[in-house]
Structure 1
Amino acid sequence: MIKLQAGDKENLDIWNECVAFSMQDFERTYKVLDIHYDIQCGESFYHDRLPGVVERLLKGGIAEISEGAVVVFFRDVPELADKPLIIRKRDGGFNYATTDIATIDYRVNDLKADAIWYVVGAPQTLHFKQIFEIGRREGYRADLCHIVFGNVLGEDRKLMKTRSGENVPLRELLEEACRRARKIIDEKNPDLGEDEKNDIAATIGIGAVKYADLLQYRTTDYIFSWDKMLSLHGNTAPYLQNAYVRIRSIFRKAGNPPLKIGRLIFADAAEINLAKRLCQFAEIVPQVLNGFRPNILANYLFELANSFHTFYEACPVLKSEEPARSSRLALCDLTARVLQRGLDLLGIKVPERM
């Protein structure tokens, strides 16, 4: 590690080859998840900055030499008073703490970030408290926030593992989700073409995994269940996607006419309830950032889908007379748009058919 951090050519060549292989594999998974990055800076990106970080903290009196290592003490912070942080080891090597301080420097000074959010598991809570305290001592005013999350458990309520006891690779899990979704599509809509089945299976399978995770309060552990997350009933992505598909089916049957709305008329209680639910969307979205809770949006979309299904059962749309017909079509259209937009905010797509 010391040779690598010092720029030794042989070590760097091996490292760069490993990074290239890793990034290729990461990119395949990112593509499946439809995730795109503007900037990707691995740990090695900061190697040249690490000596400067240590020297700056020593010069500023934030760090000091203790038993041959460079250490930051937090004597004036009660919860950290007995938890010093090493930023350079006695052998001259740097560690994750040094790199994380360098990342804050880069993001604040080079990228001009005013907010830096770390989505990392709860076991790193102490680490980030120490890093953020150093950032504050250096005078950084950016919003530094550690967003913790819970664990995914197997049906035995222990950390999810393969049968051999290994961690479950994300890409394998996503591929299995698509296979299971494809099986459901084969059973329910066998007349669709192969390409369309595969596209729909990917939309449903990937969406199901994302939604099952985002549905939970982010610090809550949850039990992973294929049957539950792929169900067309209950609080699942397929249930929400099915509501959107049902609305699109209504418009296909109507010949996709342009909406002509003079004024909206709501007489039935189900219409009024759906209209009120739609009006809540603008209030719900900003709440997601209060405590970083995408589950608020997920639960709202579930309630919206429930309201739509109640409306659909109680209020004929295409068979109703004007002006009720146009009003109900408008409600359907807006419901579909909110479902699509809301799921898109969660990183989930919607199919036109299922």
Structure 2
Amino acid sequence: MDLEKLLTDRLVPAFAAVAGGPVDPVVRRSPRADFQSDAALALARRLGRPPREIAAAVLERAELGDLCAAAEVSGPGFLNLTVADGALAALVGGLAGDERLGVPVSAAPERVVVDYSAPNVAKEMHVGHLRSTVIGDAAVRLLDWLGHRVVRVNHLGDWGTPFGMLIEHLVDLGEAEAGRALSMGDLDRFYRTARWKFDTDEVFRQRSRRRVVALQGGDPRTRELWRLLVEQSERYFLAVYALLDVTLTGVDFRGESAYNDRLAGVVADLDRMGLLTSSDGAECAFPPGFTGRDGAALPLIARKADGGYGYPATDLAALRHRTDELGATRLLYVVGLPQRQHFAMVFAVAEQAGWLRPPARAEHLGFGSILGADGRMLRSRAGDSVKLVTLLEEAVARATELARAKNPGLDAEAAAEIGRAVGIGALKYADLATERTRDHVLDWERMLSLDGNTAPYLQYAYARIRSVFRRAGTDPRPDVQIVLAEPAERALAVELLGFAAVVAETERTLAFHHLAGYLHRLAVTFSAFYERCPVLRATGELRESRLLLADLTARTLRQGLHLLGIRTVERM
């Protein structure tokens, strides 16, 4: 049902015959026709022939008669392809009985590990965790729907020297009082108080250092207190995930501590393979191609001079576990762009060690920051990072107020349901509709607008279609013959048949702005169709055809928004 793929499959053998080898036809949507191929232009220099001549030769060999009403050479050598109305109608009609809307399950499913969110124990989640959690959740939803075996990993920061002071502060408060403080969700205050005591009280500082040794040495009582900190934090994280409506659960937590017993082995194996060099007392790997501004090779510190292990050792141990024991062939790390070099070096060392070898590959899904209206990092009035819960609650409150203003007759329960779906959806969509590597400004007015490329606009388009069926008092008939009597109907049919292609592109790149952009185009195209092609006032087979086109649009919007982690509502 992928129209773009159908055209590509027809052009591939024709281009191969002309070029004497495989060629990607590069089929794209075009304003001049339905689709366009510009591969002839790229071939001109290689073949030493004019691109128009190449394009004409391809057309002579391509079997397009049953699919295209027109196929012609245009401009310097473009191939313009206009799909026949009969073929369009048949293909769109075929979507009606397909619950996957023309999107196939992957022919080569993989085990994919997605590492995302990754908050720190005893610290509250802030706005900086939003993008990792939202992007990672969209990746999980998409890859799972396509049939891949997805393993979610929430790589908690639950180990290291700060836990000495945190455990000692817990001891000072007493378990019951500490439990109440942590369960109330004010983790930041707990952490700040512990930090203040560590910085100002020498006795407390010495106790904290001894506690770190006890923790790392496996002292049962210390481990019990540490576990209490972790469990209280995990309960808080799960409450945030429930509000954010993501798929992470308790079974997905895998902290840094899970790899603690593997670190010595990782370093020993790297040393045995000759990949480590002693530098100022530390054991370092120097993967080729990484240099500082002074041209000197950059180290990846596997073991510090004091004998401790840092993030590189933990990340190498985690990667090795994911490939060797979980059998993953695609490893995704949804972490901010500032960590780009770190992960590139970790991947390079893992490749040298043989822990990351084909078909396994690792990808850093880096992302930009969320900025305030002033173009700077988003901060609270006090200058602190904005708490994620505060941001989510504000989004829901603003959307609920908007829903009541637009529809005063809504009862409290309906307004709350719409407010949550629209508010959380607006935050997620603003993130995912932005090219991942770019920063984006948090602008409430724009994000919650019912016009433009926003989640509320798409949610409203879906609700509008559902209202059509409530007024029609009937469900669409999947066996209806599609009629394309008007240009707007035809345009909607072409757009509906583009869903499979954009899903495939998003699977390959995990650049979710492609999927978001498609859903917006589909909603805009439907709006034009709805204005120019009366649905309920039409009669006979034309009415049934238009109802089916409307239903296919609603289904595609709902499925596409679900892949982005955004809920639809029946009324707005």
1:93 aligns to 2:304 (yes or no)? no
Moved more, 49-58 or 14-23: 14-23
Moved more, 150-159 or 251-260: 251-260
Moved more, 38-47 or 235-244: 38-47
Match of 2:570 in 1: 352
1:77 aligns to 2:300 (yes or no)? no
Per-residue Cα deviation, 1:20-70 (whole angstroms, up to 9, x for no partner)? 122111101111222223532111111111111111111221123333221
1:268 aligns to 2:486 (yes or no)? yes
Gaps of 5+ in 2: 1-160, 162-211
> d(CA) in 1 for partners of 2:519 and 2:276?
49
Match of 2:438 in 1: 220
Query: Secondary structure of the residue that 2:331 maps to in structure 1?
Result: strand
Query: Secondary structure of the residue that 1:15 maps to in structure 2?
Result: helix
1:135 aligns to 2:350 (yes or no)? yes
Change in CA separation of 1:144 and 1:258 when aligned onto 2, cut-off 3 Å: closer
1:180 to 398, 404, 425: 398
State which structure, 1 or 2, has the greater radius of gyration over its C-alpha atoms. Answer: 2
* Aligned-pair Cα RMSD in Å: 1.6
> d(CA) in 1 for partners of 2:326 and 2:410?
48
Change in CA separation of 1:239 and 1:92 when aligned onto 2, cut-off 3 Å: same
TM-score scaled by length of structure 1: 0.95
Query: Secondary structure of the residue that 2:413 maps to in structure 1?
Result: helix
1:56 aligns to 2:269 (yes or no)? yes
Per-residue Cα deviation, 1:323-343 (whole angstroms, up to 9, x for no partner)? 210010010000000000010
**Higher RCO, Cα 8 Å, sep 6+:** 2
> d(CA) in 1 for partners of 2:512 and 2:290?
33
> d(CA) in 1 for partners of 2:283 and 2:571?
61
Match of 1:247 in 2: 465
Query: Secondary structure of the residue that 1:144 maps to in structure 2?
Result: strand
1:121 to 336, 340, 344: 336
The residue type equivalent to 1:77 in the other structure is G
Match of 1:25 in 2: 236
Per-residue Cα deviation, 1:55-105 (whole angstroms, up to 9, x for no partner)? 11112211233332211123x435476101111112111111111011011
The residue type equivalent to 2:263 in the other structure is L
2:559 to 332, 341, 345: 341
The residue type equivalent to 2:240 in the other structure is T
8 Å contact from structure 2 (residues 396, 423) kept in 1: yes
Query: Secondary structure of the residue that 1:27 maps to in structure 2?
Result: helix
CA displacement at 1:258 relative to structure 2: 4.6
8 Å contact from structure 2 (residues 476, 548) kept in 1: no
> d(CA) in 2 for partners of 1:281 and 1:258?
20
Match of 1:233 in 2: 451
The residue type equivalent to 1:62 in the other structure is L
CA displacement at 1:256 relative to structure 2: 2.7
8 Å contact from structure 1 (residues 260, 326) kept in 2: no
Change in CA separation of 1:51 and 1:78 when aligned onto 2, cut-off 3 Å: closer
TM-score scaled by length of structure 2: 0.60
Query: Secondary structure of the residue that 1:265 maps to in structure 2?
Result: coil
Match of 2:367 in 1: 149
CA displacement at 1:121 relative to structure 2: 0.8
The residue type equivalent to 1:290 in the other structure is R
> d(CA) in 2 for partners of 1:343 and 1:262?
26
The residue type equivalent to 1:201 in the other structure is G
Gaps of 5+ in 1: none
> d(CA) in 1 for partners of 2:264 and 2:436?
36
8 Å contact from structure 2 (residues 290, 298) kept in 1: no
Where has structure 1 moved over 6 Å in runs of 4 or more?
none
Per-residue Cα deviation, 1:300-333 (whole angstroms, up to 9, x for no partner)? 1101000111111111101111121001001000
> d(CA) in 2 for partners of 1:188 and 1:22?
39
Please give the residue correspondences for 1:280-291 in structure 2 after superposition, counting only pairs within 5 Å. Answer: 280-291=498-509
Please give the residue correspondences for 1:193-208 in structure 2 after superposition, counting only pairs within 5 Å. Answer: 193-208=411-426
